[in-house]
Amino acid sequence: MPASNPESMSVQTEAKPKAAERIRRAARELFYRQGIRAIGVEEIVTQAGVTKPSLYRSYASKDELAAEYLRDYEQAFWKVFEAGKETHPHDARAQLMAYFEGLAQRATQPGYRGCGLTNAVVEYPGDDHPARKVAQAHKRKLRARLVALCEAMGSKAPEVLADGLLLLLEGTYASGQLFGRQGPARSLVAVAEQLIEASIA
């Protein structure tokens, strides 16, 4: 950055021209599909069409790259989760159920791999791993958001309902990878409706 003309660089302020972004994308795909521990950095850079030093110029370690992958994953998650806000404004229940319906479909597709954030927690039991920290922080946020939604839909016991819905969500993530097309995720919407109904009536 040699002095003048600060607006010469486009949107990206931090130095991330191309290689880093390609690595991100490759890591995202490989980490999600195969698991973080199962994928070596060599495989990532090969898939990205770059070399190892390029990876370590943009990311401090494989663990940090994994954490970055999860940050990207979380951002994408919220986009999907909050998509119902536009289609069903002022209707918390419809917003929530829109996500549940989409999830139920995805989770009954063969090759479904569940939630990248939950999977990372399974892969790294130790509290100190950076990837796990990202995942746990996200799940706390998700839980709080669910409570808010349950309150908005007039639940008599919003915390309990939110707990129940969260259990259903995590159960869907897990059993989606366990069972194929006719897995228990097919009943997710019906069961969630029952819980909501019982908590509102």
Partner DNA sequence: TGACGATGTTACCGATCGGTACGTATGATC
Partner DNA sequence: GATCATACGTACCGATCGGTAACATCGTCA
Which C-beta is closer to a second copy: that of 77 or that of 88? 77
Half-sphere exposure of 19 (CA within 13 A, CB side): 13
Task: Say which entry of DNA, a second copy, none residue 140 contacts (CB below 5 to 8 A, set by partner kind).
Answer: a second copy
Residue 10 is a binding residue for DNA (CB under 7 A): no
**42 sits near a second copy (criterion: CB under 8 A):** no
Closest contact distance (angstroms) between CB of 117 and DNA is: 19
Q: How far is 115 from 138, CA to CA, in rounded Å?
A: 12
Task: Please write down the long-range contacts of 17-21, taking CB distance under 8 Å and 24 or more positions apart.
Answer: 19/48, 19/50, 19/54, 19/57, 19/58, 20/54, 20/57, 20/58, 20/59
Work out whether 116 is an interface residue with a second copy (CB under 8 A).
no
- 12 is an interface residue for DNA by CB under 7 A: no
Find how far residue 71's CA is from the centre of its chain.
8
Q: What, of DNA, a second copy, none, does residue 43 touch, CB below 5 to 8 Å by kind?
A: DNA
Q: Concatenated DSSP letters for 28-60?
A: HHHHHHH-TTT--HHHHHHHHTS-HHHHHHH-S
Q: Name which of 18 and 141 has its Cβ closer to DNA.
A: 18
Site map 43..82 versus DNA, x via CB under 7 A: x-----xxxxxxxxxx--xxx-------------------
> How far apart (Å, rounded) are the C-alpha atoms in residues 161 and 96?
13
List the one residue out of 21, 137, 128 whose CA is nearest residue 69.
21
Q: Which residues bind a second copy (CB under 8 A)?
A: 33-35, 37-38, 113-114, 118-119, 121-125, 135-136, 139-140, 143, 159-160, 162-164, 166-175, 177-179, 184-188, 190-191, 194-195, 197-199
Binding residues for DNA, per CB under 7 A? 1-5, 8, 15-20, 39-43, 49-58, 61-63
